[in-house]
Amino acid sequence: MMRWIAVDGATDVAREASQRISAAASSAISQHGYFSLVLAGGSTPLTAYKLLAQSDLDCSAWRLYFGDERCLPADDPNRNSVMVAQTGLSEKAGEVFVMRAEWGAERAAENYRQIVDEAVPFDMVLLGMGEDGHTASLFPGHDENSASVFSVYDSPKPPAERVSLSTAALQNCREMLALIVGDAKSRSLRAWKAGADLPISRVCACRQCQVLYDRDLLEGKA
């Protein structure tokens, strides 16, 4: 079953995450010559991406994918692909498979489905969690499509239109790392730990998942 790993604060989550990603990369590259990594969107993982970008790691065999994307213009600062590029990690990687979300959710999902179906199993999948327990663009009370990548038109977190990997596609990996930081996540993290059925708890209900979280969110006043 999944493992819970408590660390002290957001900086330690980022540092621990970057070390685990780096270890997964060297193992994958020695085993099959490349490292396929699905990036989490949002702000939580950006510090870890910066640490990796600023390190002396050779990322030329890294293949970066996205767990979800917001349907915004390709250069919009709120695009996950743009936020990742600004950390410097995209430039360091060998290949970056950006979701063409600027084409609209349907076309972008269709296009990315082929990319994902050829890429799985991923070596590592990174996840964030929203205040409501969502992950990627899988939201509470929203049905999933059976396809590995599907369109979302009613996201409660703007923008409403997105593209997301499914639970099954996200779980099709050797290692999974969820990063949970931010006082606003405390309620959902406590609910998850208590057994609530949330999109994040469904995706992480697999033996390869490790949850890296800020200790204060469960044990502190957060």
User: In whole angstroms, how close is the CB of 213 to ligand 6PG at the nearest point?
Assistant: 12
Q: Is 70 in the site for ligand 6PG (CB under 6 A)?
A: yes
Q: Find the shortest distance in angstroms from Cβ 179 to ligand 6PG.
A: 8
Q: Under the criterion CB under 6 A, does residue 128 sit at the interface with ligand 6PG?
A: yes
Which H/E stretch holds residue 47? helix 46-54
> Toward ligand 6PG, which CB reaches closer, 62 or 66?
66
Residue 124 host element (H or E): strand 122-127
Query: Is there binding between residue 134 and ligand 6PG (CB under 6 A)?
Result: yes
* Interface pick for ligand 6PG out of 130, 149, 166, 198 (rule CB under 6 A): 130
41 binds ligand 6PG (CB under 6 A): yes
Long-range contacts of 95-101 (CB under 8 A, 24+ apart): 95/62, 95/63, 95/64, 96/63, 96/64, 97/63, 97/64, 97/65, 97/66, 98/66, 98/69, 98/74, 99/66, 99/68, 99/69, 99/163, 100/74, 101/69, 101/70, 101/71, 101/72, 101/162, 101/163
Of 135 and 151, which has the nearer Cβ to ligand 6PG? 135
Task: For residues 124 and 45, give the distance between their C-alpha atoms in angstroms, rounded to a whole number.
Answer: 14
Burial state string for 41-61 with b = 16 or more CB within 10 A and e = fewer than 16: bbebbbbbbbbbbeeebebeb
Choice from 21, 166, 173, 182 touching ligand 6PG (CB under 6 A): 182
Rounded-to-10 torsion of CA 46, 212, 123, 37:
-10
**Near ligand 6PG by CB under 6 A, which window of 8-16, 18-26, 30-38, 123-131?**
123-131
CB of 189 to ligand 6PG, least distance (A): 12
Tell me which stretch binds ligand 6PG (CB under 6 A): 15-23, 36-44, 56-64, 96-104: 36-44
Of the pair 62, 182, the CB lying nearest ligand 6PG is at: 182
Q: Which of 157, 193, 202, 215 binds ligand 6PG (CB under 6 A)?
A: 157
Is 29 or 196 the residue whose CB approaches ligand 6PG more closely? 196
DSSP 138: B
Q: C-beta of 54: minimal distance to ligand 6PG in Å?
A: 20
